[in-house]
């Protein structure tokens, strides 16, 4: 059975929160946590991560409530933005992206291991060795994006080059890699690797 919401005027709730009254936080959580959780879950797509992000969002709300300005919008709009930004920061974080890639890698290796007679190990075919055959600027792109977990935007920022240049180089590298895997009869593996790049 869900907890009943406490009816309270928004101004009164803001006053409680800004005076760091614990009752204000409890009311805020009881009244808004389910709505915020739904928004966060749509962004991070993991119940475990959504619960963690929601906790972080409420800590930020509690610590930064003095920054809320009622002339710029409702309390709900403000806390919704805090929650949304916290979720977006999490999915942009290196830790999150690496964990997603590790999950993809685990599922891809399981897929490969279940291929019966066409079993092969990612390390055994020497992905890094294949990448070393690419042009230097293409090697760099694949190394950063595939092996180090950068996003294309982060690569562009790191090397102070346009995002379009990064995309062009990645596309050229992918074409070369596809040709290699096609010639080696490993195109099914390439299709799995392609989504990480």
The answer, yes or no, to whether residue 51 has pLDDT greater than 60, is yes
- What's the mean pLDDT in 146-163? 78
- What's the mean pLDDT in 66-77? 88
| Chain length of the chain | 197
Query: Which of 125, 173, 168, 178 shows the shortest CA–CA distance to 146?
Result: 173
Reported as type and span, the H/E element at residue 191 is helix 187-194
What residue ranges define each of the domains in the chain, with the CATH number in brackets? 10-92 (1.10.1740.10), 95-194 (1.10.10.10)
pTM of the entire structure? 0.49
DSSP string over 123-179: TTTTHHHHHTTS-HHHHHHHIIIIIS---HHHHHHHHT--HHHHHHHHHHHHHHHHH
Q: Per residue in 73-110, pLDDT tens?
A: 889 889 988 999 999 888 887 666 666 655 544 444 44
Best-predicted range by mean pLDDT (18-27, 137-146, 158-167, 177-186):
18-27
Q: Per residue in 129-151, pLDDT tens?
A: 677 777 887 787 877 776 666 77
Q: What is the pLDDT of residue 101?
A: 57
Mean pLDDT of all residues belonging to the chain: 75
């Amino acid at each position: 059975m869900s907890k009943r919401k406490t009816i309270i005027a928004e101004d009164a709730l803001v006053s409680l929160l800004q005076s760091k009254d614990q009752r204000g936080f409890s009311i805020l959580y009881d009244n808004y946590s389910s709505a915020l959780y739904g928004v966060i879950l749509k962004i991070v797509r993991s119940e475990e991560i959504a619960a963690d992000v929601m906790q972080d969002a409420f800590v930020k709300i509690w610590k930064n409530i003095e920054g809320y300005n009622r002339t710029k919008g409702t309390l709900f709009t403000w806390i919704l933005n805090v929650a949304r930004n916290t979720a977006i920061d999490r999915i942009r974080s290196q830790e999150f992206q690496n964990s997603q890639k590790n999950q993809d890698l685990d599922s891809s290796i399981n897929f490969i291991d279940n291929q019966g007679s066409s079993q092969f190990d990612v390390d055994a075919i020497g992905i890094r060795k294949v990448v070393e055959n690419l042009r230097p600027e293409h090697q760099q792109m694949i190394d950063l994006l595939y092996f180090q977990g950068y996003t294309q935007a982060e690569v562009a920022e790191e090397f102070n080059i346009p995002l379009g240049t990064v995309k062009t180089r990645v596309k050229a590298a992918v074409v070369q890699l596809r040709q290699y895997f096609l010639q080696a009869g490993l195109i099914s593996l390439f299709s799995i690797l392609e989504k990480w790049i």
